[in-house]
Structure 1
Amino acid sequence: MVVDVSAWEVIDTERGGRDERKVWLSKVADADREEWWLWKPIKPTDRDALRINDVAEVVAHRLAEAIGLPAAPCEYARRGDERGAISRNIAPHTHDMAPGSTLVPPGDGYTVARILAALAGLTGPPPGHTDLTAAEVFAGYLVLDAWIGNTDRHEENWAVIERPDGSAYLAPAYDHGSALGSGLTDAKRERREPRAFCDGGRSSHFGGRSLVDMAREAVDLTGARWWADRVAEVPATTWSGILDEHGALSGVSRSFVSDVLTINQERVSEACRP
């Protein structure tokens, strides 16, 4: 399904965002913040082709949903002549979001172990994950990243949500538009061997470490191996259906994304399970 948001009300700009086209929208002007959606138009590549960041956002959300991992709801969308995705606001009206940089600053100390330690005492997000520690849920985020090839889990791309009483919990995962090789052109996808692309999945924010190695460390430290078990159980028809919904995805892009998900599913399952 592609949601037409052309007539939705503009509520606010994305503060601190680098793309001025990103705006908060809602069906009505006086909607509560829980009903705001961030419009994320498709970005151009460095060769004037279009990225598939909308596909990355929606696939990430749906696959997170498939394994029971909390993530910001995302939908394919259209606004006028532009294609993109919308991502629902995850901070309740009376709550504040504090980015990961407030807990673990960037730099040499930005490691998996430091992040998990900084989350001590916090839970996963309500309503369905408060029985898990924040560290266990964050381990799931790194498992998801390894599966979808998301190299962009920097200190502003995760957060805790603070309640009015001062307590806090880990925010649902969000901002996955860089996953799945979304910035590649189809010409580059045709030249890239999907397995080599997957093997090269590393995060510069974590010193160039392999995404799979980071996921393995997180599940080793937390014992949250069930995330990898759940990844292994998701059938390929799940992501095939998500890709079909797009309606304008090239055959080259569709094949590449599907291959990446299949290969990384195997890699995560082998690395993160006994």
Structure 2
Amino acid sequence: MHFPVYQINDDDFDDFEDMGTKSKFWYTDSVDGKQYLFKSTHTEDKRGNPIVRQGEDWAEKIACELAKKLGLPHAEYDLANHNGEQGTRSLNFSQKGDSLTFGNTLLEQVFKTSLPEDDKGTQRVQELKYVAALCVIEIVSAPKAWRPTANIKSAFAVFIGYVMFDCLISNQDRHNQNWGMVTDTAGNTSLAPSFDHAASLGRNESDQTRQTKLTTKDKNQTVESYVKKCKSHFYNQGERLKTFEAYQLLSCLAPSAAVEWIERLEAITDEDIKEIVDAVPEAIMSDLSKQFCTAILKANSIRIIEFKDFLLETYLKP
């Protein structure tokens, strides 16, 4: 069974999204009465020229379903179409009166005296130690829908899950406007659900590249080698970290939480992944893309699960 593709009517349009291009807009569905953000794969480059970001729709949908399997707090995504343009729709996760503050604003408000003047407004403000500190002293609480477990109770413990998830899907786009804090009408703060995972799963690679990496005997060109190159937008003392490096550093600060997230990943079977990937319609995602996507998930899962032994031996050994 394939994922449905929801058709969006012009009559349901509410307003354009404040951030980004006019390829994103809010609408209220006339069927269920809920508000969604539509994001088209048809957008613009930095010069305003029209481009199509192939694969953003299926990458976002697969990531959503994997997050659901992990029990990771996440924005809900569906495949959607507006006037012939393919994309995704995302259910508005904010309650009435809630406000969302993005990471870049939090970083500059709280750590403005620690940031070099030249780095303000750039991704270099996203020092990993600052992000960790914000989760602990500013955001504090896990997302509202999260049910605390023995080891995952706080914003920081959940955020470790977000970065592990980035490793799993090879997400390179956890920049400082792709995470944030929700403040409700009573002034209570909590970590926002994870959102915007479209730059993942090798969605932008050519079929030629996919085929090469799936079949090559050159160890430097394999899928296993490919996933190790995934970069994050986190920094450590001014040096940009790979996604797996950022995940390792955060995990060592709360190893019990990290191990629990890994155990959740271990519970996801190959059949679970196959069912999710196969559910994307062939017209949206080619068979070769599905093979490559599945290989990425397998290679990353192995790396993450192997890291569990290090955490157990180093930090949690009786």
- TM (norm. structure 1) is 0.90
1:10-49 alignment to 2 at 5 Å? 10-17=13-20, 19-28=21-30, 31=33, 35-43=34-42
2:136 aligns to what SS in structure 1? coil
The answer as to whether partners of 1:26 and 1:37 remain within 8 angstroms in 2 is yes
Kindly indicate whether the alpha-carbon contact (under 8 Å) linking 1:64 and 1:70 is maintained by their aligned counterparts in 2. yes
One-letter identity of the residue aligned with 2:250: A
Residue 2 (structure 1) shift: 2.0
- What CA distance in whole angstroms lies between the structure 2 residues aligned with 1:45 and 1:187? 25
1:116 corresponds to which residue?
132
| 8 Å Cα contact 2:234-2:246 kept in structure 1 | no
Whether 1:198 aligns to 2:227 is: yes
Q: Distance in 2 between matches of 1:45 and 1:79?
A: 17
Alignment partner, residue 59 of structure 2: 56
Range moving further from structure 2, 90-99 or 223-232: 223-232
1:169 aligned counterpart, secondary structure:
strand
Count how many residue pairs are aligned between Structure 1 and Structure 2: 270
Structure 1 distance, partners of 2:276, 2:181, is 29
Q: Which amino acid aligns with 1:164?
A: T
Of 60, 66, 69, the residue aligned with 1:66 is 69
Per the normalisation by structure 2, the TM-score is: 0.78
Displacement of 1:13 in angstroms is: 0.7
* Conserved? CA contact 2:29–2:36, under 8 Å: no
Confirm or deny that 1:208 pairs with 2:237: no
Provide the rounded CA distance (Å) in 2 between the counterparts of 1:266 and 1:112.
24
Q: Relative to 1, partners in 2 of residues 1:154 and 1:49: Cα closer, same or farther, differing over 3 Å?
A: closer
- Aligned-residue offset at 1:108: 4.2
When residues 208 and 188 of structure 1 are mapped into structure 2, their CA distance, relative to the original with a 3 A threshold, is farther
**Comparing 75-84 and 138-147, the one that deviates more:** 75-84
Q: Residue 237 of structure 1 aligns with which residue? A: 271
Change (3 A) 1:173 1:222: same
Match of 1:169 in 2: 190
- In the TM superposition, what is the alpha-carbon distance from 1:50 to its structure 2 partner? 5.2
Distance in 1 (CA, whole Å) between partners of 2:266 and 2:44 is 32
Once residues 30 and 60 of structure 1 are traced to their aligned partners in structure 2, the CA distance between those partners, rounded to angstroms, is 24
Mind listing any 5+ residue stretches in structure 1 that lack a counterpart?
none
For 2:62 and 2:246, locate their aligned partners in 1 and report how far apart those are by CA, in whole Å.
Answer: 21
1:27–1:67 Cα change, 3 Å: same
Query: How far apart in 1 are the matches of 2:22 and 2:78?
Result: 20
* Aligned-residue CA RMSD (Å): 2.4
**Equivalent pair of 2:80/2:86 in contact (CA under 8 Å):** yes
Equivalent residue for 2:107? 104
- Name which one, 1 or 2, has greater alpha-carbon Rg: 2
Q: Distance in 1 between matches of 2:125 and 2:43?
A: 33
